[in-house]
Structures are given as C-alpha cells and as structure tokens.
C-alpha cells in the first residue's frame, strides 16, 4: 500500500513536471524538415502576405534563393502589376505537396500546388517552391499559370 502511494505521488509529480520540461526544449528541436503540415502552414502564411499586398514583407520572409534572383524593388513592382491584372483572391485550395527531391532540388524542399480563383481570372496551378532554411520553411519561388480572364 505504501509503495503504491509513493508511485502515485511520483506519477503525479511527473505529470506536473513534464509540461515544464517540454516547454524548456528549444523551438529549433521541435521543427522537423519532414513535417508536411509545417510546409503548408508556412506557404499559407506567405500567401496571406501576398494576398494582403504586403509584398515587401513577403520578399523579406522569403528564402535567400528568391532574394538572389530578384531585388526587393523588382519583386514589389512585378507583384503589383501581376496582382492588379488578376484582382483579389476569391478562393484557394491546395492540390498537393511534392516532397520528392529531384535533380537540382535540395533534399529539404517541396513544391506546393494550389488551385486558385481570383476576381479577374482562375489560376489552376499556383505553385510555390519552398525550402527548409535556417530552421524554418521559406518560399524560394512563386509561379502562377493563368487559365482565362474574366470580362
């Protein structure tokens, strides 16, 4: 009986201490490059910046790969022109996530495909190339294929 009570006290103590131990773990250790949910979450967060026309912040939060390809000023100008043409986003649904490394693609990278509808057109394939960089997922490329314009 005494042993059982001691075990119960230890179990209760473990339940109380465990959350504190988990909270003390570094955030970096909790981010795993193979977590597909984190990939999608990062992509949606970045797209929300684009949708709110915060192109500067989207560029700043992008991967160094994107930043090396285009300056922030050129990015903002191009995005403003493109988004003016297509209008505001109405709907966006994820079509899939390709996590298979291909020749020339980093092992911790993915390609996300979205089907999107905008005010002035549909984009059947809105594509984000995303890489795991400095402990987080970052967009390294954004591509959109326009299907048709609306009157």
d(CA 28, CA 145): 35
The pLDDT assigned to 44 comes to 94
pTM higher than 0.85 for the full model?
no
Burial (CB < 10 A; 0-12, 13-18, 19+), residue 11, is exposed
Each residue's pLDDT, cut to its tens digit, for the chain (151 residues) gives: 554 444 444 434 333 333 333 333 333 333 455 667 888 999 999 999 999 999 999 999 999 999 999 999 999 999 999 999 899 999 999 988 886 555 555 567 888 899 888 988 888 788 999 998 988 999 999 998 776 555 5
| 94 and 125 Cβ atoms separated by less than 8 Å | no
**Residue 96: phi, psi to the nearest 5?**
175, 170
The pLDDT assigned to 18 comes to 31
Domain boundaries, the chain: 31-149
d(CA 48, CA 52): 6
d(CA 75, CA 73): 5
Q: What dotted CATH number matches 31-149?
A: 3.10.450.100
Structure tokens at 149: 């314009």
The pLDDT assigned to 145 comes to 79
| 47 and 62 Cβ atoms separated by less than 8 Å | no
């Amino acid at each position: 009986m005494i042993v059982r009570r001691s075990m119960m006290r230890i179990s209760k103590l473990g339940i109380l201490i465990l959350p504190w131990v988990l909270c003390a773990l570094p955030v970096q250790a909790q981010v795993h490059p193979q977590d597909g949910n984190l990939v999608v979450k990062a992509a949606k967060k970045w797209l929300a910046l684009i949708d709110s026309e915060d192109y500067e912040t989207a560029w700043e939060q992008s991967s160094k790969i994107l930043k090396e390809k285009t300056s922030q000023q050129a990015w903002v100008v191009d995005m403003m022109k493109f988004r003016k043409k297509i209008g505001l986003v109405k709907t966006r649904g994820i079509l899939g996530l390709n996590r298979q490394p291909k020749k020339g693609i980093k092992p911790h990278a993915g390609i996300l495909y979205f089907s999107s509808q905008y005010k002035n057109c549909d984009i059947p394939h809105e594509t984000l190339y995303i890489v795991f960089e400095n402990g987080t997922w970052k967009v390294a490329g954004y591509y959109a294929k326009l299907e048709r314009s609306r009157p």
